[in-house]
Chains A and B, each alone.
Chain A
Amino acid sequence: MIGEMDSMVLSHYLFTGAVLFALGVVGFVARRNLIIMFLCTEMMFQGVAVSLVAFSRFHLNYTGQTFVIFVLTIAAAEAALALGLVVLLFRRKRTLDAAAWAELRG
């Protein structure tokens, strides 16, 4: 039932993962809303997860799927911390604009 997967098929799945990652990068750089920026990091996690599961299927090795569990763990931790940070920053300046913190550039 579970057979070998073709390399071209793997490339298709990797393509989807790479596009999700690249869109996450673009969004993180281009958007100014702090919440959207962190949403874009979650999207990069999604792209990585797709690639990991595709590799797992390609090599017939379940470690890839296990790593997605760890990616989910990190994503959950990151969401908790990032949203806590966003709430803190919002409380200081009453805005979600990342440019409001441009003074941190130094």
Chain B
Amino acid sequence: MSSEPWADDEDTIPTLDGAALERLRRAGHLEPAEVLEWGAASDVGRVRLVNEDAWGAWGDRLFVVADGMGGHAGGELASRTAVRAVLEAVGPAAGADLPDAVQRASVAVRAAGETAGVRALGTTLVALCFTPGAAELINVGDSRIYRFRADRMDLLTRDHTVRNGLLDAGIDPADHAQLGARLGGLTSFVGAAAERLAVQQVSIAVARGDRYLLCSDGVHRQLPEDALRRLVAAGSCAQAATALVQAAVDAGGRDNATAIVVELG
């Protein structure tokens, strides 16, 4: 996909500016959905000594979850630095360039590591930014964003893992079970060198009644899908986020667990 406008488009007949959009707007009868409420929760879990997850929100428009990795406090430093960088870059400016914000966050993470004398650090990052009727998401690594609509649950992000690289190449990861942990290895993360930083960016249409879950792998690896579906509907968004994180801890708490639940109305 090119990021450059096509230069050979002069022979395309221009349409009336905005006429089609206005016609379609009049044809619709549904109001654009907006954020109604949200809640967040995070827990260190039962195994780790520190919580290397971080989350942030800007008003009721922008939500971010990051899961840091790296020794000597590098994980905490990475996740917090990245969340702050994205909030500052995207929060105040409607229509900000999300992938650009991630690139800047990656530079900030590397710089923070250098300042702190931590050589290798990085973080996953998911962010969801709402506009009336739509939202834009970005994803790096293996934190996730799910959408719950009526009785349907959809995964909106795609993990950057060796395992998904195998699936893309038409190879069954089950044939490579002996690779163990390496299948979960991240192929992209914030803090990676620029040429290795792959960012997934997707726009979506949103609807009233939708709930969105942003979570670290301490939630989505620890709980089966039916538990996510049940818990995300448990009361208010704040109650649901707390219930999800608590359930992840109760189920073993092998990793830090963080959840943000957002409802549209």
Partners in one complex: no
Measured CB to CB, the residues of A under 8 A from B are: none
Measured CB to CB, the residues of B under 8 A from A are: none
